[in-house]
């Protein structure tokens, strides 16, 4: 599907990844951002985009955003707290997706791109391909994403939708909020430059991808894959440990803190200590990750230091 001269709805389009995606799309498309601004910022929405403000668990808000002339919905809205340990997160995320697909079906919109997560795999062998089974998430967040994927698959096969599903690695870059490791480390070091507490043992090792590359990959997949369900991992070919992230952040801030560790092989209940997604399927479609995980973290750190702790930039 060519992403040009289309009416595009981006749910969660004022958030971290969503706002970068809206910026990418608005030059060539009519973009509608639907967001409640609870974990996002209005100033991140491009001036040329229309805005529907409201909670997408409300079907009336969804109806205002998704109209019969919509060509594609990029569905990014979610409760994204990966450390949440409550079934309510599952209910909220699945309600969002239920409302989106039911509205799409009602008004004849049949293209949807969905941001899932590598957490659907649970603790899987690395690198993890898209066809790995069984999918056994170990967090409520991962379970919610897997449930949403299942519903979208039903609408692809039974309601003639075309679905693009993106299983993200860890996405980093400007506008990433507290709760993500890089802005958390920046905030901690700005508060106490002498010592940095690191959750777990610091040896957790995952793949990190810059948000600009993530958005580029998403658009490439939508424009080049056309099966009823198109599921792609988005990540890099390498990984970065939590202690290495701390080293990069401290270096970019010009600091030399002592590290303390909370212990254990994971940072929180449901954390996957090691994760690297296979990107061979993405590569075969003609898109290759342009930088390593370490380089993505460093590029993101420079922007986030300027954003969150400009005195250290």
Instruction: List, by residue range, all CATH 3.40.50.720 domains of the chain.
Output: 7-170+209-234
The confidence score (pLDDT) of residue 69 equals 98
CATH 3.90.25.10 fits 177-207+238-275+292-312, yes or no: yes
| Angle of helix 181-191 versus helix 242-253 axis, rounded to 10 | 50
**Residues facing residue 274 across a β-bridge:** 205
- Residue 252 CB partners (closer than 8 Å, separation 6+): 298, 301, 302, 305, 312
Alpha-carbon span 182 to 30, nearest angstrom: 33
The confidence score (pLDDT) of residue 248 equals 98
The confidence score (pLDDT) of residue 105 equals 98
Alpha-carbon span 213 to 71, nearest angstrom: 24
In 3D space, the residue among 181, 159, 14, 126 whose CA is nearest the CA of residue 23 turns out to be 14
Q: Using alpha carbons only, what angle is made at residue 311 by residues 190 and 211, rounded to the nearest 5 degrees?
A: 75
Among the options 90, 121, 141, 232, which is catalytic? 141
Instruction: List, by residue range, all CATH 3.90.25.10 domains of the chain.
Output: 177-207+238-275+292-312
**Three-state secondary-structure class, residue 237:** coil
User: 7-170+209-234 in CATH: which number?
Assistant: 3.40.50.720
How many C-beta atoms surround the C-beta of residue 180 within 10 A?
18
Mean pLDDT, consecutive 10-residue stretches, the chain (313 aa), reads 97 98 98 95 97 97 98 95 80 96 98 97 96 96 96 98 98 91 96 96 96 98 98 98 98 98 85 94 98 98 94 90
Residue 141 falls in the annotated catalytic set: yes
The confidence score (pLDDT) of residue 313 equals 85
């Amino acid at each position: 599907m060519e992403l040009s001269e289309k009416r595009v709805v981006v749910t969660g389009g004022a958030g971290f990844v969503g706002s970068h995606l809206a910026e990418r799309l608005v030059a060539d498309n009519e973009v509608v951002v639907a967001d409640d601004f609870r974990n996002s910022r209005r100033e991140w929405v491009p001036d040329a985009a229309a805005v529907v403000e409201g909670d997408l668990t409300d079907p009336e808000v969804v109806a205002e955003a998704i109209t019969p002339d919509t060509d594609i919905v990029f569905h990014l809205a979610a409760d994204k707290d990966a450390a949440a340990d409550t079934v309510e997160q599952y209910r909220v995320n699945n309600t969002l997706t239920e409302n989106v697909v039911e509205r799409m079906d009602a008004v004849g919109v049949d293209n949807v791109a969905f941001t899932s997560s590598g957490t659907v795999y649970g603790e899987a062998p690395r690198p993890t391909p898209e066809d790995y089974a069984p999918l056994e998430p170990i967090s409520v967040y991962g379970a919610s994403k897997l449930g949403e994927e299942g519903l979208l698959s039903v609408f692809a096969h039974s309601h003639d939708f075309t679905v693009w599903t993106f299983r993200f690695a860890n996405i980093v870059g400007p506008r990433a909020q507290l709760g993500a490791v890089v802005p958390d480390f920046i905030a901690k070091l700005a508060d106490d430059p002498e010592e940095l507490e690191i959750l777990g043992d610091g040896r957790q090792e995952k793949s990190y991808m810059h948000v600009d590359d993530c958005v580029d990959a998403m658009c490439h997949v939508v424009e080049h894959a056309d099966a009823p369900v198109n599921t792609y991992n988005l990540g890099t070919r390498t990984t970065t440990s939590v202690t290495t992230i701390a080293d990069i952040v401290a270096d970019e801030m010009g600091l030399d803190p002592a590290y303390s560790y909370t212990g254990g092989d994971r940072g929180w209940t449901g954390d996957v200590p090691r994760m690297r997604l296979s990107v061979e399927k993405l590569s075969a479609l003609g898109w290759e990750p342009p930088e390593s995980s370490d380089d993505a973290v460093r590029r993101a750190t420079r922007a986030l230091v300027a954003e969150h702790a400009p005195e250290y930039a």
